[in-house]
Copies of this chain bind each other. A is one copy, B any other.
Amino acid sequence: MTDKRDQLEALAMENAQRCGMSGMSFRTLADEVGIKSSSVHYYFPEKSDLARALIERYSDDFFAALDKIENSNWNLRRKVKAFIAIFEDVARNKKLCLCGMMAAEVEQLDDHNRSLLEQYFKNIEKWLVKLLEDNHQDVRTELPPRLIAKTLLAGLEGALLLDRVAGDMQRIKAQKELFLSLIE
């Protein structure tokens, strides 16, 4: 049994990725773990504390996955495939990226959480740029790494959004094909 705070975070994460910010109400969470909503406030005094915990948790998990990819001895193509596979996993589970979802409802976040969100996207792009620069010999296009990083990430986030509405994975698949075509 994990501790209750962790349990609450995990549940809130599920709900948020499926139902947006409205899916992480203190009452719903309380019901699901079998306590009262006032007790949830013990762990997360304000809603923004919960939102922050989720962004940090999602971000930590994501960059842990990137670390694994970075420390492998795979070639660029396989590394990019592994990067895209993180998003394919989200799509397969009919979820959204937590941060993509929050980006759509950013007006509900306080300044600190907004800047966490901004950093999340920037750091992913930074990681991608480094990956592409370190393997420039395997990149088939003249387009700068910064541009490839930005369009790859934005396209994956958009694909998650649109594919969930359509109930398929066509756009994420297309995005994968397009960017793999730019790599040896």
Residues on A close to B: CB < 8 A?
18-20, 22-23, 96, 100-101, 103-108, 114, 117-118, 121-122, 141, 143, 146-148, 150-151, 153-159, 161-162, 164-166, 170-171, 174-175, 177-178, 181
**CB-CB < 8 A to A143: which residues of B?**
177-178, 181
B155 touching A151, Cβ below 8 Å: yes
A103 nearest CB across to chain B (Å): 4
The answer to whether A104 touches B161, judged by C-beta atoms less than 8 angstroms apart, is yes
Tell me, in angstroms, the Cα distance from A101 to B108 when the chains sit together.
14
Minimal Cβ-Cβ distance residue in B for A181: B143
CA distance A178 to B141 in the complex (A): 10
A151 lies within 8 A of B165 (CB): no
Name which residue of chain B comes closest to A172, CB basis: B154
Asked whether A175 lies within 8 Å of B151 as measured between CB atoms, the reply is: yes
Would you mind naming 12 contact pairs between A and B with Cβ atoms under 8 Å apart?
A: A20-B105, A23-B107, A103-B162, A103-B164, A104-B105, A106-B164, A121-B162, A150-B171, A150-B175, A151-B155, A151-B159, A154-B158
Residues of B within 8 A of A162 (CB): 103, 121, 153-154, 157
A86 CB to nearest chain B CB (Å): 15
Decide: A159 and B170 in contact? CB cutoff 8 A. Answer: no
Task: Please indicate the chain B residues that have their CB under 8 angstroms from the CB of A141 in the complex.
Answer: 181
How far, in angstroms, from A156 to B19 measured CA to CA in the complex? 23
